[in-house]
Amino acid sequence: MIKKVLKGLTLALLSVLLVLPILSGSANAATNESNSSSQASSSSSSAITTGQEDSLAKIKQKGEIVLGTSPDYPPYEFMAKGKVVGMDVEIAKKIAKDMGVKLVIKKMSFDSLLVALQTGKVDMVISGVNPTAKRAKSVDFSKSYYKAGQYILVNKADKGVYKDMTSFSGKTLGAQTGSLPYNIAKKQAKNAKVKGMEQVSDLVIALKTHKVDGVVLDQPTAEAYAKNDSSIVAKDGKFKLGSSETSDVVALAKGSTSLRTQVNKSIDSIKSQNLVEKKYLKTAGSYMKVNTANTSMWHYWKYFATGVEYTIGVSAVSVVAGFILGILLAFMRLSKLRILKWLGTAYVEFVRGTPLMVQILFVYFGLGVIVNIPALLSGIIAVSLNSGAYVCEVIRGGIISIDKGQKEAARSLGMNAHDTMYSVVLPQAIRNIWPALGNEFVSLIKETSIVSIIGVSDMIYQLKIVQADTYRGVIPIFITMVLYFILTFTISRILRHYEIKMNKKVDTLV
């Protein structure tokens, strides 16, 4: 029984290695298909910029420009009808059209955007970015395409209590981590406690559940949320703002002079025709009206189904790869060769001593500087490497637990070291550690939720989209929680089934 399981896992790993390139490729294709605009018309100026700086030439050569954005900030960018829409997306389309290239959109958390830009994952970032002096040290900025103040969202019942930022003395203000509103609230609302969160949708939920007393947002975003949710209102924060703190710009990689020049030309055209006010904001508004027309969770079943699909895919591949890696590491740690033992121990200690989230970010952004690894594949690699370290210790403990007399008896029967380990020790070890191993596999399913930070469309990622799309917080969370329970409970039952079969076989032999 144990031998069959081991052989099955080995075959599964080989299948995974063959299918993985196809899986990552199809995921990229699907992402590009769903998040890309139609092919832009040819630009009247097709000449390629010459000289040392060739950022624009490279984009024209590959025929596409990759936009990084965090689609939870209406009316700038948000999800509607299964795609990223909003004022910033319309601006990106205009830039791509003027270049004569296709627009490809990559979705990720706001605090990952500039890192993605610096590591070459995206060509530009348009996501309500303000040109602060600190950011200017690592990226370049275009001209301003829009100016807006900073407002504060409050619950409707408290609209008479909170007038502006001075009313929040001793209270809690929420703002998106890494954003200008967060920094402004920290500096100017000195007597208020400022709480940062990654997603704007989470901040709105925190406001409605009284976890925070107000949420600092750009004026258009605050007004958009208030317009679509009668339980909250937008108030002018009356912050003291400089020119850079009211300007929204396009962020570009440092030193991309030719690309910035081209982007500025598009922005000049947008401003001369007043396209933001006349067209782009109205387009965003029309999508937001659609969003509030049907907020039933049944309407979003495809989002949850996609999340389940990606979660199962990442978990399945990571379980198999992590199990095989764990066996290899366990043998390294038990090896008599000092170098192998040292390498195995160093790997396990390092991986177990660093957070999985940091490992995922390193694989995606860190290794991405050398090799352009897709988000899905990066998530699978990081989770597999992390799982292998924990599985290693479980397996090593199981092998050590086998009585030495078992090995001695096998050797006395003429079995060599390899056969003794494969036919005697390992089968017993697997049976002994099966519950612990199963617990690791179940935990892995839940841990894969972290891959959403780099834009993998797992259940947590889809949860955020549904929250931002429907302005509803608790129900999407509850549905996601139930779906995770169904997955983990099913896996637990399957593992328990095999555990019973193994125990019955042992009892029969005895």
**Which residues partner with 248 through β-bridges?**
146
Task: Going residue by residue through the chain, which has 510 residues, state the pLDDT in tens, using 9 for 90 and above.
Answer: 444 444 444 444 444 443 344 344 444 433 343 343 333 333 333 333 334 478 999 999 999 999 999 988 889 998 887 789 999 999 999 999 999 999 999 988 888 899 999 999 999 999 989 898 889 999 999 999 999 899 999 999 999 999 899 999 999 999 998 888 999 999 998 889 999 998 888 898 899 889 999 999 999 889 888 887 889 999 999 999 888 888 999 999 999 999 999 999 999 999 999 999 999 988 888 887 655 555 678 888 888 999 999 999 999 999 999 999 999 999 999 998 999 999 999 999 999 999 999 999 999 998 877 888 889 999 999 999 999 999 999 999 988 888 888 777 887 888 887 788 878 887 888 888 889 989 999 999 999 999 988 888 899 988 888 887 777 778 899 999 999 999 999 999 999 988 888 777 655 544
pTM for the whole structure: 0.74
Choose among 490, 377, 428: nearest CA to 28: 377
In a domain, 241, yes or no: no
How many Å apart are CA 13 and CA 364, to the nearest integer?
22
Are residues 275 and 186 located together in one domain of the fold? no
Task: Classify strands 150-155 and 232-236 as parallel, antiparallel or unpaired.
Answer: antiparallel
Are residues 316 and 193 located together in one domain of the fold? no
Sign of the dihedral through C-alpha 214, 218, 222, 228: negative
How many Å apart are CA 227 and CA 207, to the nearest integer?
16
Are residues 46 and 139 located together in one domain of the fold? yes
CA distances from 104 to 35, 125, 509 (A): 6, 12, 61
CA distances from 121 to 37, 95, 108, 373, 501 (A): 18, 18, 11, 9, 48
Q: Which two tokens stand for residue 116?
A: 């993605």
Does residue 95 contact residue 37 with C-beta atoms inside 8 Å? no
In a domain, 156, yes or no: yes
CATH code, 76: 3.40.190.10
Sign of the dihedral through C-alpha 31, 37, 42, 47: negative
In a domain, 382, yes or no: yes
Are residues 254 and 389 located together in one domain of the fold? no
Are residues 111 and 184 located together in one domain of the fold? no
Q: Which two tokens stand for residue 316?
A: 């399945």
Are residues 304 and 161 located together in one domain of the fold? no
Domain that holds residue 227: 150-236
Secondary structure (3-state) at 211: coil
Does residue 476 contact residue 467 with C-beta atoms inside 8 Å? yes
Are residues 289 and 265 located together in one domain of the fold? yes
Angle formed at CA 136 by CA 130 and CA 142, multiple of 5 degrees: 60
In a domain, 242, yes or no: no
Q: Using a CB cutoff of 8 Å and minimum separation of 24, what contacts does 394-397 make?
A: 394/326, 394/433, 394/436, 394/437, 394/440, 395/326, 395/327, 395/330, 395/429, 395/430, 395/433, 395/437, 396/330, 396/333, 396/334, 397/433, 397/436
> pLDDT value at position 16?
42
**Residues in contact with 421: Cβ distance below 8 Å, sequence separation at least 6, in sequence order:** none
> pLDDT value at position 466?
84
In a domain, 54, yes or no: yes
Are residues 14 and 87 located together in one domain of the fold? no
> pLDDT value at position 2?
45
Choose among 83, 86, 103, 89: nearest CA to 37: 103
CATH code, 408: 1.10.3720.10
Place of tokens 């990720």: 108
How many Å apart are CA 438 and CA 429, to the nearest integer?
14
In a domain, 464, yes or no: yes
Choose among 265, 261, 262, 267: nearest CA to 249: 267
CA atoms within 13 A on the CB side of 377: 19
Q: What's the structural domain count of the chain? A: 3
Are residues 103 and 159 located together in one domain of the fold? no
CA distances from 138 to 55, 135, 261, 291, 333 (A): 16, 6, 18, 36, 42
Are residues 285 and 393 located together in one domain of the fold? no
> pLDDT value at position 328?
95
How many Å apart are CA 387 and CA 325, to the nearest integer?
8
Tell me the H-state helices in 228-300.
257-272, 275, 281-293
Does residue 39 contact residue 391 with C-beta atoms inside 8 Å? no
How many Å apart are CA 508 and CA 501, to the nearest integer?
11
Sign of the dihedral through C-alpha 357, 359, 362, 367: negative
In a domain, 96, yes or no: yes
Are residues 272 and 369 located together in one domain of the fold? no
> pLDDT value at position 291?
55
Are residues 51 and 141 located together in one domain of the fold? yes
In a domain, 130, yes or no: yes
